Structure formats: C-alpha cells, structure tokens
C-alpha cells in the first residue's frame, strides 16, 4: 500500500492537541471524508479531527489504523469505507471481513467508544455496483445490530439513491465525489441517526459558553 504513504505520513505529522472540554470525534476513511467541506463547522459543538485519506479502501483503513487513530484518543469515531474496495473488485464479503477487523482495532486501541459507520453510498460512477453496495450495507448492518451495541449504521444510501433517480445534484462531474448537497445529507444523517443517540445517552455535550 505504498501509494498511500505520502498522505499517511502527512496525517501522522498532524499536531495532537490536548483534550479540551468538547467531545473529540475522529472522522476516518476515504476521500469522501477527506474532502468533506466545512466538517468542523458542521459539528462545531464537537472537537473534530479529519483523518481521511484519498482513495483509501477499508482494507487500507485497517492497515494504517494504528498510525492514524489511537494517538488522538477519540471519544467517538465516525468512519466511511468499502466504496473503493468494491470499486477495486472486492466482494461484499471481503468488505464485511475488513469491517469486523476495524471494529476489533477500535476496541483494542480506543476502547468501547461509540462508532458510526456511514453506509456505502450509491453513485453514478459505480451504478454498476448497486447490487453489491446494497448487499454490503445489508450484511454490515445486520452484524452491527447483532454484535455491536455501541455502533450505529448511518444510512445515507436510502436518501441518496432516491435523489439520484431524479437528479444529478449530489455529485461532481466525475460521478463519484459529492457536492455540498450530498454532504448536507451526510451531515444530517450523522447528527440525527448517530450523534443525537449516543451523545444524549452517554456523552452529554457541555454547552456552557467557552471564555
């Protein structure tokens, strides 16, 4: 996985700031995470760390996990992967195996913290993979329900698929990377399906004005 090394080394050099009063949420995964515009502003009530790296597969996220995640001591992790694995010809079952591996890494190095897995998105560029994407989301979602009470599948697939059928406004010209309209769906889904649940249950946000 040498083609990732330059970007991984850049992320490794990112300063690890002392933990403040805000909850620390680490976003991890492929370019859909790395290119998220206004990520910190979208979740301004939280301390956001963006550790996405372009073109990464879920396999690569597992491989580089120990170099890019534990040192930040996150309270919560949100990650996206599997899209590029399927695009590279891997089967849904292989993505499922890597999902279980990264969940094991999170538990080993970060503890039993809340984890949000953003479902594999549908896109024009990978329309030929829709059946595989749908099946990947299905088997990972079932695994989360059965085995990971601290994890939530964040469903972006359903709304994006519905909009894709009538509009091309979710994607850039490459048919793969999202516009701000696409990220609006992601932001709302992360908040409503995941953060609102886990923060309100276990990690209340301190809304006291910071001086």
Query: pLDDT (tens digit, 9 = 90+) per residue, 98-112?
Result: 999 999 999 999 999
pLDDT higher than 60, residue 126 = yes
What pLDDT, in 10s, does the model give residues 72-84? 999 999 999 999 9
Please tell me which residue, 16 or 137, carries the higher pLDDT value: 137
**pLDDT confidence tier of residue 209, bands split at 50, 70 and 90:** very low
State the average pLDDT for the chain: 90
The pLDDT, as a whole number, for residue 206 is 46
Give the CA angle between residues 186, 192, 195 to the nearest 5°.
95
pLDDT higher than 90, residue 203 = no
108, 77 in Cβ contact below 8 A? no
Q: Does residue 18 lie in a domain region?
A: no
Q: Does residue 35 lie in a domain region?
A: yes
**pLDDT confidence tier of residue 18, bands split at 50, 70 and 90:** confident
CATH number for the domain harbouring residue 160: 3.40.50.1110
Q: Within a 10 A sphere around the Cβ of 188, how many other Cβ atoms?
A: 13
Q: Locate the DSSP E strands across the chain.
A: 24-29, 47-52, 76-80, 115-118, 151-154
pLDDT higher than 50, residue 67 = yes
pLDDT higher than 50, residue 204 = no
pLDDT higher than 60, residue 202 = no
Question: What number of H helices and E strands is found in the chain?
Answer: 11, 5
The pLDDT, as a whole number, for residue 128 is 94
Q: Does residue 205 lie in a domain region?
A: no
68, 81 in Cβ contact below 8 A? no
Q: Does residue 6 lie in a domain region?
A: no
pLDDT, average across residues 199-210? 49
Q: Does residue 76 lie in a domain region?
A: yes
Tokens encoding 13: 């050099």
Q: Does residue 203 lie in a domain region?
A: no
Q: Does residue 53 lie in a domain region?
A: yes
The pLDDT, as a whole number, for residue 208 is 43
What does DSSP say about strands 47-52 and 115-118: parallel, antiparallel, or unpaired?
A: unpaired
The pLDDT, as a whole number, for residue 211 is 35
Q: Does residue 189 lie in a domain region?
A: yes
The pLDDT, as a whole number, for residue 55 is 83
Q: DSSP letter for 171, please.
A: B
Range of the structural domain that residue 191 is part of: 24-196
Rg (CA), the chain: 16
Total domains present in the chain: 1
pLDDT, average across residues 124-144? 96
pLDDT higher than 80, residue 165 = no
């Amino acid at each position: 996985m040498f083609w990732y090394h330059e970007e991984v080394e850049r992320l490794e050099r990112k300063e690890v700031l002392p933990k403040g009063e805000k909850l620390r949420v680490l976003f991890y995964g492929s370019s859909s995470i790395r290119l998220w515009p206004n990520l910190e502003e979208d979740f301004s009530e939280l301390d956001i760390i963006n550790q996405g790296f372009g073109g990464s597969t879920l396999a690569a996220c597992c491989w580089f996990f120990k170099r890019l995640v534990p040192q930040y001591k996150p309270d919560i992790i949100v990650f996206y992967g599997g899209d590029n694995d399927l695009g590279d010809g891997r089967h849904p079952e292989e993505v499922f195996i890597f999902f279980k591996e990264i969940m094991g890494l999170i538990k080993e190095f970060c503890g039993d913290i809340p984890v949000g897995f953003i479902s594999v998105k549908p896109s024009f560029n990978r329309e030929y993979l829709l059946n595989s994407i749908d099946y990947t989301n299905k088997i990972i979602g079932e695994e989360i329900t059965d085995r990971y009470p601290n994890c939530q599948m964040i469903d972006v697939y359903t709304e994006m698929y519905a909009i894709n059928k009538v509009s091309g406004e979710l994607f850039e010209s490459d048919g793969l990377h999202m516009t701000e309209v696409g990220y609006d769906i992601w932001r709302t889904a992360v908040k409503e399906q995941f953060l609102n649940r886990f923060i309100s249950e276990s990690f209340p946000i301190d809304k006291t004005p910071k001086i």
